[in-house]
Structure 1
């Protein structure tokens, strides 16, 4: 278990890792897998639709970081 604020910061940069470090391994693994899929889709879609996926990934990272902070 690590500090809640540190888990939130880590989870913002690598979504799901904060949950894994807080002890919720399955949840963190699923969230990390979703982030990887969004990241890959951003690159595969190229310059036309890629920015939309990176925007979605940024919003997703913020939500996941807030979730990692709220874990007791």
Structure 2
């Protein structure tokens, strides 16, 4: 398995929540986050989306970064 750039994963999720997870190989998690953000966008009509939109966005960025680091550590142990 190849190394993942934690920075790139975070940047991808910064611009589109879930894209960093897809880059890391977590396809279903990434698609779920994208759909969740679409729902949150729709919920801004009744104001609750304004609360959850930034929370899910920040979770996506941090999770993508940490997942890439975990993948890299796991790959490094295999080659040691």
How high is the TM-score relative to the length of structure 1? 0.77
Quote the RMSD (CA, aligned, Å). 1.6
Moved beyond 6 Å, runs of 4+ = none
Match of 1:68 in 2: 64
Q: Distance in 2 between matches of 1:9 and 1:54?
A: 22
Structure of larger gyration radius: 2
Q: Distance in 2 between matches of 1:59 and 1:41?
A: 14
User: How far is the alpha carbon of 1:13 from its aligned partner?
Assistant: 2.1
Q: Distance in 1 between matches of 2:7 and 2:39?
A: 26
Please show how residues 18-29 of structure 1 align to structure 2 within 5 Å.
Answer: 18-29=20-31
Unpaired runs of 5+ in structure 2?
Answer: 72-80
Residue-pair matches, total: 66
How high is the TM-score relative to the length of structure 2? 0.70
